[in-house]
């Protein structure tokens, strides 16, 4: 079965057929950087990173665009409250998001455009809309005329225009022809940043930014537009309206990940229950946090609890344990080994990560049995299958991302621990168990756990 995904716009599972054969393009609504990221924000990054990896593994040449909204009402309000320029807030939090994506193993996007760097493209898009009768300038603002697009507006969110509320995106609704018209451009206000346009200085509206950036880097028609389910309306609805009204085909598929909640409430800064990434990776390792976010189906909601987080960490450690033990027996893993068909079918069925990880755990169980029997041939096959599946999911414990390879100190640590383990081995051979225990305790105090195995002592950083 080829890849099939749930398309929000048709509310149906559809076979993925790209605009251009052999190539796949994704636009993911990235961060609005008014605050540092919590795990609800980064869930989207992990989900679409798995999709990107799977498309690459399936043979597609990928272009992955994840934007940064670095100018917005919220950013301006935070900056005013702190008494700093808006760009200080944006830059600080963008760095926090980049660190969080990297820490959880998300591959860098092909391109990561900032809204403030694409004002010329936004002006061009507004000029096209005005020329087609779908937008108008009023009092320094520019608005999208929803009545001009009434027969199609609301299709993504499955709403009728007559039932929609006012856009509520401006202080003075009298500038609008219809209260539901949304702002493409906001005229100059005291203390706010501005850019020049034919209609006067001002700054972009949120929805306009994404349409301009998506079409610049992916073309007038591209494959997949992603984001959280909370973006369906009004953000994604407005993106479709302004892009298609301007004459662009825009996205062929719309994918939305579910929310992460605490109890019955959506996680948000206003509730005071944000779980920031630096805090989370003190509770569990980054790879375990990634596992926790990747296990549920991307369209499902996650009700966060620390108990569930620790259960996910323990489940990942069972996988990691097999890979570590098997790698001591099998030194050369076949990176080209085929993936189990059940794993392939699971991911092709709307990116079914719960079923895919169930396959991983089943292969791990078989691998542990093969290890106990000393069946090296079976261990080699099952280790290759496991690592190849984990690579698709960004969870391979032997990858440089999670082993820490490439850091300046890793060769030094390897060498020092190797010497200590040789000294411990010598002490055990001469039956000086007090000295052997002392070496082990010294390593433990340094954050290194030693485990004795039939193949010799093995070490890892203490969890």
Cα separation, 376 vs 361, whole angstroms: 19
Q: Calculate the CA dihedral of residues 237, 235, 144, 89 and round it to 10 degrees.
A: -170
Please say whether the beta carbons of 211 and 125 come within 8 A.
yes
Is the CB of residue 392 less than 8 Å from the CB of residue 399?
Answer: no
**E strands within 197-341?**
202-204, 221-228, 250-257, 260-262, 265-266, 302-303
What backbone torsions phi and psi does residue 143 show, to the nearest 5 degrees? -125, 150
Residue 155 phi/psi, 5-degree rounding, is -65, -40
Of 60, 75, 66, nearest in space to 48 by CA: 66
Mean pLDDT in consecutive groups of 10 residues from the start of the chain, 463 residues: 96 98 98 94 97 98 98 95 97 98 98 97 98 97 97 95 90 90 96 95 95 98 98 97 98 97 68 78 96 98 95 98 94 90 98 98 98 96 97 96 60 68 80 79 80 67 65
pLDDT score recorded for residue 153:
96
* Residue 26 · residue 42 · CB < 8 Å: no
Element (H, E) at 120: helix 119-131
Question: Residue 427 has what pLDDT?
Answer: 77
Residue 33, classed as helix, strand or coil, is coil
Predicted TM-score (pTM) of this structure: 0.89
Predicted confidence at residue 406, as pLDDT, reads 40
Q: Which residues are 202's β-sheet partners?
A: 187, 195
Question: 89 CB contacts (<8 Å, ≥6 apart)?
Answer: 33, 34, 75, 78, 79, 82
199: CB partners within 8 A, 6+ apart: 126, 137, 140, 141, 142, 185, 187
DSSP structure string for 398-460: TSHHHHTTTSTTHHHHHHHHHHHHHHHHHHHHTT-HHHHHHHHHHHHHTTEEEEEETTEEEEE
Q: What's the per-residue H, E or C state across 150-195?
A: CCCCCCCCCCCHHHCCCCCCCCCHHHCCCCCCEEEEEECCCCCCCE
Strand-pair partners of 137: 142
Cis peptide, bond prior to residue 234, ω within 30 of zero: yes
Domain ranges within the chain, ordered by starting residue: 4-257, 277-403, 410-461
4-257 adopts what CATH topology? Answer: Rossmann fold (3.40.50)
Beta bridge partners of 153: none
- Cα 89 to the chain's mean position, in Å? 22
Residue with tokens 């809204």: 115
**Token pair 């005329």: residue:** 145
Residues 6+ apart with CB under 8 A from 354: 295, 296, 297
pLDDT of residue 413: 64
Q: Give the span between the Cα atoms of 365 and 351, in whole angstroms.
A: 23
β-strands 221-228, 202-204: how paired? unpaired
Query: 367 is written with which tokens?
Result: 């691998």
């Amino acid at each position: 079965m080829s890849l099939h995904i749930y398309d929000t716009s048709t509310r149906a599972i559809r076979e993925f057929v790209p605009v251009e054969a052999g190539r796949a393009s994704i636009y993911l609504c990235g961060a609005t950087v008014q605050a540092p990221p919590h795990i609800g924000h980064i869930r989207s990054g992990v989900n679409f990173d798995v999709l990107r990896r799977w498309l690459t593994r399936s043979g597609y040449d990928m272009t992955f665009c994840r934007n940064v909204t670095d100018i917005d009402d919220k950013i301006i309000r935070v900056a005013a409250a702190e008494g700093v320029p808006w760009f200080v807030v944006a830059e600080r939090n963008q760095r926090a998001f980049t660190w969080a994506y990297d820490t959880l193993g998300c591959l860098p996007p092909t391109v990561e455009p900032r809204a403030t760097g694409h004002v010329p493209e936004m002006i061009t898009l507004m000029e096209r809309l005005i020329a087609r009768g779908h937008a108008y300038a009023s009092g320094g603002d520019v608005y999208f005329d929803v009545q001009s697009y009434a027969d199609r507006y609301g299709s993504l969110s499955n709403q009728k225009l007559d039932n929609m509320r006012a856009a509520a995106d401006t202080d003075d609704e009298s500038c609008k022809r219809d209260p539901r018209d949304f702002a493409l451009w906001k005229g100059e206000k005291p203390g706010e940043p501005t850019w020049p346009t034919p209609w006067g200085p001002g700054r972009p509206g949120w929805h306009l930014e994404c349409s301009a950036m998506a079409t610049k880097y992916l073309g007038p028609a591209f494959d997949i537009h992603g984001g959280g389910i909370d973006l369906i309306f009004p953000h994604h609805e407005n993106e479709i309206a302004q892009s298609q009204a301007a004459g662009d085909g825009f996205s062929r598929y719309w994918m939305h990940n579910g929310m992460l909640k605490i109890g019955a409430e959506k996680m948000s800064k206003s509730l005071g229950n944000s779980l920031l990434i630096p805090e989370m990776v003190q509770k569990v390792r980054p790879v375990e946090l990634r596992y926790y976010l990747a296990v549920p189906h991307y369209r499902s909601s996650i009700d966060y609890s620390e108990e569930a987080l620790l259960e996910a960490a323990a489940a990942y450690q069972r996988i990691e344990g097999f890979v570590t033990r098997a790698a001591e027996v099998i030194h050369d893993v076949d990176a080209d080994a085929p993936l189990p068909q059940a794993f392939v079918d699971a991911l092709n069925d709307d990116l079914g990560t719960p079923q895919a990880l169930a396959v991983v755990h089943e292969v791990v169980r078989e691998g542990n049995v093969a290890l106990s029997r000393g069946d090296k041939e079976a261990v080699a096959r099952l280790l290759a299958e496991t690592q190849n599946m984990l690579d698709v999911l960004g969870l391979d414990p032997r990858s440089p991302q999670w082993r820490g390879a490439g850091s300046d100190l890793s060769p030094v640590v390897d060498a020092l621990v190797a010497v200590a383990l040789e000294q411990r081995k010598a002490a055990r051979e001469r039956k000086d168990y007090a000295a052997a225990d002392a070496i082990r305790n010294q390593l433990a105090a340094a954050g290194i756990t030693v485990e004795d195995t039939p193949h010799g002592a093995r070490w890892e950083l203490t969890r």
